[in-house]
Amino acid sequence: MPEPEELDGSLRETTARGTVILTIANMSFRVVQVVAFIVLARVLTPAEFGLMALVLVPLNILAPLASIGLREAVVHSSGLRRDVVRSATSMAFLASVLLYAVMAAFAEPITVFLGVPEAVTLLQVTAIVLILESLGTVPEALLSKDLAFFRLGAVTIAS
């Protein structure tokens, strides 16, 4: 068993290295995002670009609800068993399917409220992202829990 001072130093090193890696990964992700927006701005008409921006508003509001605290629960739990990980993954998936169903059901009133009633189908299709993002909730939490910052950074950039 390592001495507490050694363990503390190792944890400090791992945390510092992880902070640098995740900062670089997040900055890289933002650069890719800006480039994607520039490309979309050139490909789409201003009206289409604005329509897409409006559709993303309700999605960005609901997206954090999809993980329903599972990410934090996985990171802070001790001794995760496979059945618990499977259950957490299933819960994240089911929560996102429920959010998708709510978004699809209320797409018309939402788009009318936003002033773009023609975007109902666009909102319903784009809301599928909620389900896709939920598939990464538990794996990303497991990487965070294991302090696998390099792999987590790679996932962030790839996403």
Q: What is the mean pLDDT of residues 79-100?
A: 86
- What is the residue range of 114's domain? 4-158
Give the largest CA-CA distance in the chain: 64
pLDDT for position 6: 46
Nearest to 49 by CA among 119, 100, 125: 119
Lowest mean pLDDT among 41-50, 69-78, 123-132: 69-78
pLDDT for position 1: 40
pLDDT for position 8: 57
pLDDT for position 39: 93
Q: How many CB atoms lie within 10 A of CB 78?
A: 5
Nearest to 51 by CA among 106, 105, 125: 125
pLDDT per residue over 3-40, tens digit each?
A: 444 445 687 888 788 888 888 888 888 898 899 989 98
Residue 57 has pLDDT above 60, yes or no: yes
Rounded Cα distance between 59 and 110, Å, is 11
pLDDT for position 141: 82
In the chain, the number of structural domains is: 1
Rounded Cα distance between 97 and 91, Å, is 10
Phi/psi class of residue 45: alpha, beta or left (left: φ > 0; alpha: ψ in -120 to 50)?
A: beta
Q: How many CA atoms lie within 13 A of 27 on its CB side?
A: 6
Average pLDDT, the chain: 84
Say if pTM beats, i.e. exceeds, 0.85. Answer: no
